[in-house]
Structure 1
Amino acid sequence: MSLKISGIVEFIRMHRDEIMKDWIDRFNKADAQSISAESDQIDQAIAAEYVNILIEWSKNKEDEFSGKIHEFSKRIVQLDWPMDKIAQCLHTFEKILFAKLLEKQIPGDPLELLSEIEKVTSPVNREVFLQYTSSYERTINLQKMALQELSAPLIPVFDSITVMPLIGTIDTDRAKRIMENLLKGVVKYRSEVVLIDITGVPVVDTMVAHHIIQAAEAVRLVGAKSLLVGIRPEIAQTIVNLGIDLSQITTKNTLQKGIEAALEMTNRKIVSMGERR
Structure 2
Amino acid sequence: MYRDFANFIHMNKDILLGKWMEQMKEQADPAILQVTSDILYEDTSREFVDLIVANVLGTPDGSFSEKLDDFAQKVVHLGWSVHFVTRGLRTFGLLVYSEMKRQNLFIASKEKADEDIYYHFENWLSSMYGVVVNAYADSWERTVSVQKTALQELSAPLLPIFDGISVMPLIGTIDTERAKLIMENLLIGVVRNRSDVVLIDITGVPIVDTMVAHHIIQASDAVRLVGCQAMLVGIRPEIAQTIVNLGIELDQVITTSTMKKGMEKALEMTNREIVEKEE
TM-score range, shorter chain: 0.7 to 0.9
Q: Mark the runs of 5 or more structure 2 residues left unpaired by the alignment.
A: none
What SS does the aligned partner of 1:37 have?
helix
Distance 2:65 2:122 in 1: 16
CA distance in 2, matches of 1:154, 1:35: 37
- Do 1:197 and 1:230's aligned partners in 2 also have CA atoms closer than 8 Å? yes
Paired residues in the alignment total 269
**Paired residue for 1:115?**
119
Greater shift in the superposed pair: 144-153 or 50-59: 50-59
1:90 aligned partner:
89
Q: Whole-Å Cα distance in 2 between the matches of residues 248 and 47 of structure 1?
A: 62
Q: Percent identity?
A: 44
- TM-score, normalised with respect to structure 1: 0.83
CA distance in 2 between partners of 1:243 and 1:182 (Å): 26
1:67 alignment partner AA: S
Match in the other structure for 1:228: 232
After TM superposition, give the deviation of residue 54 of structure 1 in Å: 4.7
Distance change in 2, residues 1:65/1:245 (3 Å): same
Tell me, in whole angstroms, the C-alpha distance in 1 between the residues paired with 2:209 and 2:246.
8
TM-superposed CA distance for 1:197, in Å, is 1.0
Contact 1:57 1:65 in 2 (8 A): no
Offset, 1:125: 4.2
TM-score after normalising by structure 2: 0.82
How far 1:210 sits from its partner (Å)?
Answer: 0.2
Change (3 A) 1:190 1:21: closer
Alignment of 1:52-91 (within 5 A): 54-55=52-53, 58-59=56-57, 67-68=63-64, 70-72=66-68, 74-75=70-71, 77-79=73-75, 80=78, 81-91=80-90
Aligned letter for 1:135? S
- Counterpart position of 1:27: 24
Q: Give CA-to-partner distance per residue, 1:219-268, whole Å, 9 cap, x none.
A: 11112212111000111111112111112211111111111112222222
Instruction: Say whether residues 1:148 and 2:145 are aligned partners.
Output: no
Give RMSD over aligned pairs: 2.9
Helix, strand or coil at the partner of 2:190: helix
Match of 1:136 among 140, 147, 153: 140
Alignment of structure 1 residues 193-208 onto 2, 5 Å = 193-208=197-212
Q: In 2, Cα distance between the equivalents of 1:262 and 1:195?
A: 8
| Partners of 1:98 and 1:113 within 8 A in 2 | no
Q: Give CA-to-partner distance per residue, 1:28-83, whole Å, 9 cap, x none.
A: 3433x8454274668555555555555565455x9x88622541452354142222
Residue segments in structure 1 that go unaligned for 5+ positions in a row: none
8 Å Cα contact 1:24-1:44 kept in structure 2: yes
Greater shift after overlay, 213-222 or 99-108? 99-108
Shift of 1:201: 0.8
What is the SS of the residue equivalent to 2:2? helix
Query: Using a 3 Å threshold, how does the CA distance of structure 1 residues 201 and 117 change in structure 2: closer, same or farther?
Result: same
